[in-house]
Amino acid sequence: MITIGICDDEEAYRDHVKKLCGSFLDAQNQECQFIEFASGEEVLAYQGDKIHLLFLDIEMPGMDGLQVMEKVRGNERIWRIVFVTSHKELRWETIDLKTLAFLEKPVDRIGVETCLKTVVRENRENIDVSFKTVDGDCYLKLDQILFIQAQGNYVSVYSKKDEITGYDSIKAMEAQMKGTTMLRTHKSYLVNLQYVEKMSGVALQMTNGSSVPIGRKYYQSVKEAYFSFIKRITIDRNK
């Protein structure tokens, strides 16, 4: 089940997007539910299920779409955003980790279907990561983990909410997350590229303010993976 949010002050546009989404998802046998918002303020007040994809109009009375993005950047209930507008010059102002695409009004079937395919794929890639703790097995979604540090015979898992001590090796955790956005940067560190703010010399600056070292043997592979990831979320998503 995925949840699609549609925020536009005009009901006709909401109905149009909902119809396009419904047609595609029904054909894919993908269960979904729709939640409609008539303003940015309604999005900020939302307290329901996680919205996997929010179609967000930029130009609305009151709070506009760009202001909404600033407010929901750390909101776990809004996972990905597709901005919708008549003004294509605003495209580069919408770039963010949450931003999946930028569509011009009136949105067409191909644009909507491309966004839906991407969010379904990225949701599938957002795997459950498991590790042992003193209280038993712990499970976290990949997008909840910022980085992991080896600490002798155990690991410290730094999530968005807290630090958790795990009794698995960093090698085992790396194997579990192979092929995801989690990257080995040092013999003692795994980093989630989703939360790297910038690459600075031989360290990665994280969005929570932490600095994670890059080992000499890992430097080239980290550099390539980091810039490939940046290209993916800033260019490839917005073609």
Contact 95, 47 (CB under 8 A): no
In the predicted model, is pLDDT for residue 201 greater than 70? Answer: yes
Number of Cβ within 10 Å of residue 103's Cβ equals 22
Q: Is 204 helix (H, G, I), strand (E, B) or coil?
A: strand
Q: Which CATH architecture has domain 2-125?
A: 3-Layer(aba) Sandwich (3.40)
Average pLDDT, stretch 221-234? 86
Q: Do domains 2-125 and 128-234 have the same CATH topology?
A: no
% of the chain surpassing 70 pLDDT: 93
CA distance 136 to 138: 6
* Residue 33, pLDDT above cutoff 80: yes
Contact 159, 140 (CB under 8 A): yes
Please give the Cα distance from 82 to 115 (Å, whole number). Answer: 8
The lowest-confidence range among 54-58, 102-106, 116-120, 232-236 is 232-236
pLDDT tens digits, one per residue of 103-129: 988 899 999 999 999 888 888 889 999
pLDDT at 86 over 90: no
Lowest mean pLDDT among 18-27, 38-47, 66-75, 103-112: 66-75
Helix residue ranges per DSSP H, 85-218? 109-125, 170-176
- Model confidence at 235: pLDDT above 60: no
- Domains of the chain: which residue ranges? 2-125, 128-234
Q: What is the CATH number of domain 128-234?
A: 2.40.50.1020
Reduced 3-state DSSP string for 143-154: HHEEEEEEECCE
In whole angstroms, give the CA distance from residue 143 to residue 70. 19
